[in-house]
């Protein structure tokens, strides 16, 4: 869903349309969940937070003139993840992502997840927000409160690291 | 009154034509374009990219004869602040990479071991990082060869590749370019953004890296950027496709509204 299409659905949502919420949910739940899962590394928690993102969207949608509603949504997801990670008892969970989620192309996906797990949480989030969520670097810089140049450089470095990992490394 | 309306109409028409004709810029800044080049391959008209001030102001050197590409690059950017475009580069970055790949394939893989490293970028002279060509800012393929064989390979490569290749004698490990601009970023130094894994490795003292690239066209002008390794684009596509779908449905969400 482009920002324009999302804006149109949000206009309907602001006037109380459940169909609009459903359309947005069906289109964005996967990338939102993916970002959250890679941030919190806990399936149940990521499920909770994904639901919370769209609940907040329903309760307090962005105002009409938000330039990038898509970025707004992922900022909500990012902030919720940070809050969850700050709670007592939260921490890095190093285990692999659950085996029961596998479908076609599972091995390739596992390889990618393993490679992503080797990145720092911040680099992993930058890569996921750009490639998984489709956000522009400027939007990611605003969400993460980082300079644009830093985001660009970290993304580039992360891709190189992933490439090395997925390609079997250097001699 | 009539004249005023005619004038107003003319202004409105001109505005419509000009705004309709202006193409939307594709990239917010040059770094976005640069990242796109890194992901999808550099155009053949790019010779070199380096930092102008040791920071984020960048200079793009175009291959000689491609001056018209400067406007294209600028038109593709929303904000070109800090970007300098120069022309007069002798070789395209892609051509240098092709030569590098050929040298690696023919002389390093299963070779004699005389060549200990091969990379595309700048080099260090008396502790100072410097480029090549008249401007001193161009890249070349830098080949590190064991001291006793250096002259032999210098003569060989001069005959084969002209001044695209620079042979340096090495007493220790040397490197081949693989990570290009990313190693420069990791080194955190100024000036070097394309093909600088060789230099970064020299600076950081890292080990030997080989680009397992298939032999490409020779340095006669033909360039094929086929690469035996996983491309950055393939990596990006793999990450983009590796999505996870939540189990909870819209019905679960609706129940909470």
- Give the residue among B101, B88, B108 at the shortest CA–CA distance from B219: B101
Q: Is the pLDDT of residue B246 over 90?
A: yes
pLDDT tier, A106 (very low <50, low <70, confident <90, very high otherwise): low
| Geometric angle at alpha carbon B99, from B96 and B100, rounded to 5° | 85
Q: Residue A49's closest chain B neighbor by CA?
A: B246
Flag if A33 and B245 touch (Cβ within 8 Å): yes
Residue B252, both tokens: 């679960």
| Average pLDDT of the segment spanning B12-21 | 52
Mean pLDDT of B160-174: 73
**Average of pLDDT values for B88-102?**
83
DSSP state at residue A41 = -
> What is the distance between the alpha carbons of residues A75 and A55, in angstroms, rounded to a whole number?
14
- pLDDT recorded at residue B35: 84
Most confident of the following: A89-98, B98-107, B178-187: B98-107
Return the residue matching tokens 């970028």.
B121
What residues in A contact B235, CB-CB < 8 Å? 159, 162-163, 166
- Please give the residue of chain A at the shortest CA–CA distance from B247: A47
For the residues A77-94, what does the mean pLDDT come to?
78
pLDDT at site A82: 93
**Using CB atoms, which residue from A149, A153, A162 is nearest to B235?**
A162
Of A26, A31, A157, the CB nearest to B250: A26
CA distance A86 to chain B (A): 23
Contact B243, A34 (CB under 8 A): yes
| Structure-token match 């990618």, residue found | A112
Residue B188 has pLDDT above 80, yes or no: no
Instruction: Answer with the residue of higher pLDDT: B153 or B10.
Output: B153
DSSP letter at B68? T
Mean pLDDT score, B111-139? 81
B166: which strand partners? Answer: B142
Tell me, yes or no, if B186 comes closer than 8 A to chain A by beta carbon: yes
Closest CA to A134 of A85, A81, A69, A88: A69
Higher-confidence residue: A26 or B98?
Answer: A26
Give chain B positions within 8 Å (CB) of A112. 238-239, 242
Span A56-82, average pLDDT:
91
- For residue B179, the chain A residues in CB contact (below 8 A) are 160, 164
Answer yes or no: is pLDDT of B180 > 60.
Answer: no
CA B36 to CA B121: how far, in whole Å?
Answer: 20
pLDDT band at A108 (very low <50, low <70, confident <90, very high): low
Please report the pLDDT score of residue B247 as a whole number. Answer: 93
Pairing state of beta strands B27-29 and B77-79?
Answer: parallel
Most confidently modeled of A165-169, B17-21, B182-186, B211-215? A165-169
Inter-residue contact B138 to B89 (CB < 8 Å) = yes
| Burial (0-12, 13-18, 19+ Cβ within 10 Å), A100 | exposed
Chain A interface includes B251 (CB < 8 A): no
- Cα A152 to Cα A108, A147, B25, B30: the distances in Å are 26, 9, 18, 11
Of residues A147 and B9, which shows the higher confidence score? Answer: A147
Highest mean pLDDT among B25-39, B67-81, B118-132: B67-81
Tell me the percentage of chain B whose pLDDT exceeds 70.
Answer: 66
Residue range B224-229: mean pLDDT, rounded: 43
Average pLDDT over residues A82-90: 81
Q: Give, in order, the Cα–Cα distances in Å from B251 to each of A21, A43, A77, B246, B247.
A: 12, 19, 20, 13, 11
Task: Using an 8 Å CB-CB cutoff, list chain B residues near A117.
Answer: none
By Cβ distance, the residue of B182, B209, B210 closest to A157 is B182
Percent of chain B with pLDDT over 90: 14
Other CB atoms closer than 10 Å to residue A98's CB: what's the count?
11
Q: So what's the pLDDT on residue B189?
A: 27
Going by the DSSP 8-state scheme, the letter that residue B255 receives in this structure is T
ipTM (interface pTM) = 0.86
Distance CA A32, CA B246 (A): 9
Which residues, 6+ apart, have CB-to-CB distance to A110 below 8 Å?
A96, A97, A102
**Stretch B114-122: mean pLDDT:** 84
Query: Does B232 contact A at CB distance below 8 Å?
Result: yes
Mean per-residue pLDDT, A55-82: 92
Tell me the two tokens of residue A17: 């349309």
Give the pLDDT of residue A56: 95
Contact criterion met (CB < 8 Å) for B239 and A162: yes
The vertex-A23 CA angle with A21 and A25, nearest 5°, equals: 65
CA distance B153 to B158: 8
Quick one: which H or E segment has residue A71? Answer: helix A69-86
**A152 interaction partners in chain B (CB closer than 8 Å):** 31-32, 34-35
């Amino acid at each position: 869903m482009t920002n324009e299409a999302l804006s149109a659905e949000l206009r309907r949502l602001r006037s109380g349309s459940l169909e609009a919420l459903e359309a947005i949910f069906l289109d964005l739940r996967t990338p939102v969940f993916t970002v959250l899962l890679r941030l919190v590394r806990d399936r149940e928690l990521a499920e909770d937070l994904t639901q919370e993102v769209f609940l907040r969207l329903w309760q307090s949608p962005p105002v009409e003139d938000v330039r990038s509603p898509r970025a707004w949504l992922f900022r909500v997801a990012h902030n919720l993840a940070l809050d969850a990670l700050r709670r007592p008892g939260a921490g890095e969970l190093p285990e692999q992502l659950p085996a029961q989620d596998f479908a076609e192309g599972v091995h390739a996906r596992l390889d990618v997840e393993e490679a992503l797990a080797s990145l720092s949480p911040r680099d992993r989030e930058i890569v996921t927000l750009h490639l998984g969520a489709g956000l522009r670097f400027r939007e990611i810089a605003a969400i993460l409160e980082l300079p644009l140049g830093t985001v660009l450089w970290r993304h580039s470095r992360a891709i190189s690291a992933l490439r090395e990992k997925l390609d079997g490394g250097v001699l | 009154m009539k004249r005023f309306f005619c004038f107003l109409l003319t202004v409105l028409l001109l505005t419509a034509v000009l705004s309709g004709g202006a193409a939307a810029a594709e990239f917010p800044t040059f770094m976005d374009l640069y990242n796109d080049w890194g992901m999808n391959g550099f155009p053949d008209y790019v010779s070199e990219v380096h930092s102008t001030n040791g920071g984020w102001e960048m200079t793009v050197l175009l291959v000689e004869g491609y001056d018209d590409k400067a406007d294209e690059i600028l038109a593709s950017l929303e904000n070109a602040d800090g970007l300098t475009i120069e022309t007069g580069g002798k070789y395209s970055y892609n051509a240098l990479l092709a030569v590098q790949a050929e040298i690696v394939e023919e002389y390093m893989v299963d070779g004699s071991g005389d060549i200990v490293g091969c990379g595309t970028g700048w080099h260090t002279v008396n502790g100072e990082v410097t480029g090549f060509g008249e401007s001193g800012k161009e890249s070349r393929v830098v080949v590190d060869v064991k001291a006793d064989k250096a002259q032999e390979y210098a003569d060989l490569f001069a005959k084969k590749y002209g001044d695209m290749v620079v042979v340096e004698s090495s007493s220790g490990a040397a490197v081949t370019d693989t990570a290009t601009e990313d190693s420069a970023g990791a080194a955190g130094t100024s000036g070097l953004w394309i093909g600088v894994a060789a230099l970064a490795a020299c600076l950081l003292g890292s080990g030997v890296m080989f680009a397992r690239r298939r032999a490409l066209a020779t340095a006669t002008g033909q360039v094929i950027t086929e690469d035996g390794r996983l491309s950055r684009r393939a990596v990006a596509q793999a990450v983009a496709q590796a999505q996870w779908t939540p189990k909870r449905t819209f019905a679960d969400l609706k129940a909470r509204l």
